[in-house]
Amino acid sequence: MSDNEINRHFKTAVLNSHAYHVPDSTGLIKLDAMENPYQLTDDFKQQWQSELVNAELNRYPDADMSSMRETIKQSFSVSADCGLIFGNGSDELIQIVLMAINRGSVMSPAPSFVMYQHLATLLEHEFIAVPLTDDFSLDLPELLEKIETIQPSIIFLAWPNNPTGVAYKKSDIEQIIKKSTGLVIVDEAYHAFANETMLNDIKHYPNLLVMRTLSKLGLAGLRLGFLVGQTDIIEQLEKVRMPYNVGTLNQLSVSFICRHIEVLTTQTEKIKQDRAVLFQQLSEMDAIHPIPSATNFILFKVSGLSADHVHQQLIENKILIKNLSKAHPSLTDCLRVTVGTEEENTMFINALKLIFNHA
Ligand code: PMP
C-alpha cells in the first residue's frame, strides 16, 4: 500500500506513534523488564498443572471470574464493599479507563510509565506531563496549580514510580486526590517492594482508583492486573471491558498461585534484600549515581562514559538492562537495572566495574 493510502486509513495519532519495542534478549541475562528472576519449584508446578488439566477449554471462561475474584480479594485484602475489575495486565486497565472517560486532559508527572501517554494520545486525549523535581520527587505546588487550571479528566500516579523507583509522600498523593475533580489512578504496580498502599483509602475518596498487577510479583507471563474503586465507577468501566478478557487457564492459575501467595512474597522479600546490596555496590562506584528505590529496580546515572556506551558494553558482556538516556530530558545518562538473582547481580556489578576500569 502506498504511504498516501496508509495515511488515509489511519488516525494521525496512530501514524505518529510507535509500537512498543521489546528488545531481543536471546542469550542475555535479562535485567531490563522488572521481572521476578525466580522459578517456581517442580513440586509446586506439578500441583498447579494438576489444577489445569480438567479445564473445559471448549467453553468460554467464567465471565464473572468468581473464584479468582474471591482469591484476589482475600490475598490482597480488598474490602468487600469495593468494586474490582480485571485486565489482561494492568496495561489493558489503563486502556479501559481511557476509553471510558470523556475526551479531555490526562495528566501525569514525568518521567513516568510510558503507557499513560501512549494510550492517552492514541485515544485522542490531551496528555499533560508535569515534570518531577531534580531528585525525581513530585513538584506538588506545580501539580496542584495545573490541576486547578486544567481540571484533568484523569491523573495517573505510579506509586512507586517507574522508571525512577521513587515512592512519593502519601500526604502529597492525598492532596492531589482532594484537589482533583477528575479520577485519580494510583498505580501500585510495585507495591510488593514498597511499604504503603492507598487501597484502604478508597472509602474516603470517590475519585480514587488503585491499580495493581501480578507481573512484578512473579507472574508477568500470566498477564493479570486489577483495579479497585468505589462500585459505581467500576460498574461504568465494566461496560468497556471485553467479556472474556481473562482466559480460563489464567483464572485457574491465578486462583491456585494466590492461594499460596507466600511462595511469591518470600521471593519478593529476597529481592528487597538484594536491592539493598545492589544499591550499596552501585553507590561505591565513583562513576555511578543510583537513586534510592522502593521497587525491584534501580535507576542510575553514569558519568565519564555515555549511557549508550555502557548499555552496549553490558550487552557485549551478555547483560541486558534498560537504556533510558533518550526517554526524557531528565533521564540523560540514565540506565535502569532490575534486581535479579544474587548471581545475576554480581555478574552485572562485575561487568560494570570492568567497563569503567577499561575506559
Ligand atoms: N504500571 C507500571 C508503573 C509499570 O511499570 C508497568 C509495567 N512495566 C505496568 C503498569 C504494566 O504492567 P502489566 O501490564 O504487566 O500489568
Cα(126) to ligand 1 centroid in Å equals 21
Is any atom of ligand 1 closer than 6 Å to the C-beta of 35? Answer: no
- Ligand 1 neighbour 215 (Cβ under 6 A): yes
What's the mean pLDDT in 246-258? Answer: 97
Is the model's pLDDT at 195 over the cut of 90?
A: no
What's the 108 CA to ligand 1 centre distance in angstroms? 15
Task: Report the separation in Å between the CA atom of 34 and the middle of ligand 1, taken as the mean of its atom positions.
Answer: 9
Out of 187, 209, 217, 324, mutate this one to test ligand 1's pocket (max ligand atoms within 8 Å of CB): namely: 187
pLDDT at 82 over 90: yes
Angle, CA of 345, 346 and 351, to the nearest 5°: 100
CA distances in angstroms from 135 to 18, 51, 300, 301, listed in the order given: 29, 47, 12, 12
Determine the distance separating the centroid of ligand 1 and the alpha carbon of 289, expressed in angstroms: 25
Instruction: Tell me the per-residue pLDDT of 148-193, one tens digit each, with 9 for 90 and over.
Output: 999 999 999 999 999 999 999 999 999 999 999 999 999 999 999 9
Q: Do residues 182 and 152 lie in contact, with contact meaning Cβ atoms separated by under 8 Å?
A: yes
Cα–Cα distance for residue pair 133/130, rounded to 1 Å: 10
| pLDDT(358) > 80 | no
Q: What is the pLDDT of residue 357?
A: 85
Please say if the pLDDT value at position 359 is more than 80: no
Q: Read off the pLDDT of residues 90-146 as tens digits, 9 standing for 90 and up.
A: 999 999 999 999 999 999 999 999 999 999 999 999 999 999 999 999 999 999 999
- pLDDT tens, residue by residue, 311-346: 999 999 999 999 999 999 999 999 999 999 999 999
Mean local confidence (pLDDT), 236-261: 97
> Whole-number mean pLDDT of the chain?
96
d(CA 95, ligand 1 centre) in Å = 12
Q: What are 204-231's pLDDT values in tens digits? A: 999 999 999 999 999 999 999 999 999 9
Strand order in the sheet with 334-338: 288-290, 297-302, 334-338, 322-323
Model pLDDT for residues 293-313, shown as the tens digit of each residue:
999 999 999 999 999 999 999
**Whether residue 162 has its Cβ less than 6 Å from ligand 1:** yes
Which pLDDT value is given to residue 85? 98
Are 245 and 92 in contact by the 8 Å Cβ rule? The answer is yes
Q: Which of 156, 212, 215 to mutate to test the pocket of ligand 1 (most atoms within 8 A of CB)?
A: 215
Confidence of residue 21 (pLDDT cuts 50, 70, 90): confident
Average pLDDT over residues 2-21: 93
Nearest CA to ligand 1 atom 12: 90
